[in-house]
Amino acid sequence: MAYRATYHDPAVTNQIKAVLHEVQPDVVHATSLSLLMGGTIEAAKSLTLPFIYTATDFVLTCRRGTYIKYDGSICAEKETVDLCTECMKPHTKLEIRLDQAYRLLPKGVSTLALPYLENLIGKRADFVHAEDSIKHRFRYLPTWREQIDHIIAPSSYTRDMFLLNNFPLERITVSPYGITPPPSHFKKSPSSKIRFAYIGRITPIKGVHLLIEAFNRLNLQGQAELTLYGKADVNAELYTQKLKQKAENMDDIYFAGFVDNTKISELYQNIDVLVVPSLWPENSPITILEAQAHGIPVIASDVGGIIDLIDHEVNGLLFTNQNVDELTRQIERCVTTPEFISKLAARSKLVKSIDADAAELMRLYKKLCHLQDFNSPGR
């Protein structure tokens, strides 16, 4: 089954080991474990190399990787086989029927059919073989967690979820991402409208539908505009089509498509307020850090690592997660009192530069390599 390869694939492990043999690193640092989870850790530890993981995702503490439960609520509990199986199994009548039909397909056909199934329902079909998948996951997770020498958590929320799942505090460092500062000549372009923007994947858990709904409720009459930068996420094409259909009669909402990150400063020249309406507890959104580095205030949902970055009514605005009424009010505040945007913008600053981030990493690498030498045989 595909889920087995997610956790343990000897072929992948051997390929990574071959690369490590060739490169001969002093330390291995992974920034995502969502696809190569087992192979990366196993390869590094088989060569007795220190292993660092920057937790850009939640795959070590949540099977879905989002902490969003089957009913749309946010999970705040420790991983257990029973709890996760209950969350992952099919719940709706449609999911139950699709799961039953999927099991009847020949193996080769079912593998090909899975992407079409996921696009049909607009999300990952995690309910397929949920029970077997969870049991398989828990055969490997405890060992892997023990083999990680250090975790860099970009937010206190991420740290707390690792602590909840028994990862030792002394092996966790909370450190926000470093961001490339804007060019010295960066300057906002003038506009007669308040320019709101969303930057990121177009997918349900990002809450883009809430933003469009909030904008739709306001009769702004040319006072403001909303530009959505980004493309449809995998399995979210139908969701994106529905958003575009809802916005097609709204003159001040634009879908701008994919953004080249090398031109991000040019983008922020034409943005007054960034909106991050995520439903899931974001780790530490780089879009927020980039906006703040450019002096752009952010309106965002009060979940996860977001609340580490935004001090409500100081450098941005927070609204209760999934509450479109509150989001609407915060947008309206910015439109009716543009001087408030200027006040928030004045306190939106670069959190940490990428150079400072690199210096911190070098200190951690040296510390771990020193400990590795000290604990090696013969010392």
40, HSE (Cβ side, Cα atoms, 13 Å):
17
Report if residue 13 sits inside a domain.
Answer: yes
In this structure, the answer to whether residues 240 and 338 fall within a common structural domain is yes
User: Is residue 287 pLDDT above 90, yes or no?
Assistant: yes
Q: Note down the domain range covering 326.
A: 194-346
Q: Which amino acid is at 58?
A: F
Name beta bridge partners: 224: 194
pLDDT tens profile 107-118: 777 667 777 766
* Single pTM value for the model: 0.88
Query: Can you give the pLDDT at residue 378?
Result: 43
Query: Can you give the pLDDT at residue 269?
Result: 96
In this structure, the answer to whether residues 22 and 67 fall within a common structural domain is yes
CA distance 288 to 275: 9
Report if residue 119 sits inside a domain.
Answer: no
Report if residue 108 sits inside a domain.
Answer: no
Non-local (6+) Cβ contacts of 160 within 8 A are none
* Candidate ranges 129-133, 233-237, 258-262, 274-278; pick with highest mean pLDDT: 274-278
The model's confidence at residue 374, banded by pLDDT at 50, 70 and 90, is: very low
Report if residue 50 sits inside a domain.
Answer: yes
CA distance 189 to 172: 42
Number of domains observed in the structure of the chain: 2
pLDDT tens profile 193-219: 999 999 999 999 999 999 999 999 998
> Position of tokens 């993981």?
53
Burial of 11 (0-12, 13-18, 19+ CB in 10 A): exposed
In this structure, the answer to whether residues 269 and 360 fall within a common structural domain is no
In this structure, the answer to whether residues 309 and 368 fall within a common structural domain is no
pLDDT tens profile 232-264: 987 788 899 999 999 988 889 999 999 888 889
User: Is residue 3 pLDDT above 60, yes or no?
Assistant: no
User: How do 298-301 and 316-319 pair as beta strands?
Assistant: parallel
CA distance 342 to 236: 35
Report if residue 105 sits inside a domain.
Answer: no
> Smallest Cα–Cα separation from 295: which of 341, 354, 345?
345
CA distance 197 to 50: 41
Query: Can you give the pLDDT at residue 373?
Result: 53
Q: In CATH, what number is assigned to the domain containing residue 133?
A: 3.40.50.2000
* Candidate ranges 51-65, 79-93, 238-252, 338-352; pick with highest mean pLDDT: 338-352
In this structure, the answer to whether residues 205 and 267 fall within a common structural domain is yes
DSSP-H helix ranges across the chain: 2-7, 10-23, 37-46, 81-88, 93-104, 107-121, 130-147, 156-164, 208-217, 237-247, 264-268, 286-293, 306-309, 324-336, 338-346, 354-375
Neighbours of 73 (CB within 10 A): 12
In this structure, the answer to whether residues 229 and 133 fall within a common structural domain is no
Query: For the chain, first and last CA: distance in Å?
Result: 44
In this structure, the answer to whether residues 215 and 238 fall within a common structural domain is yes
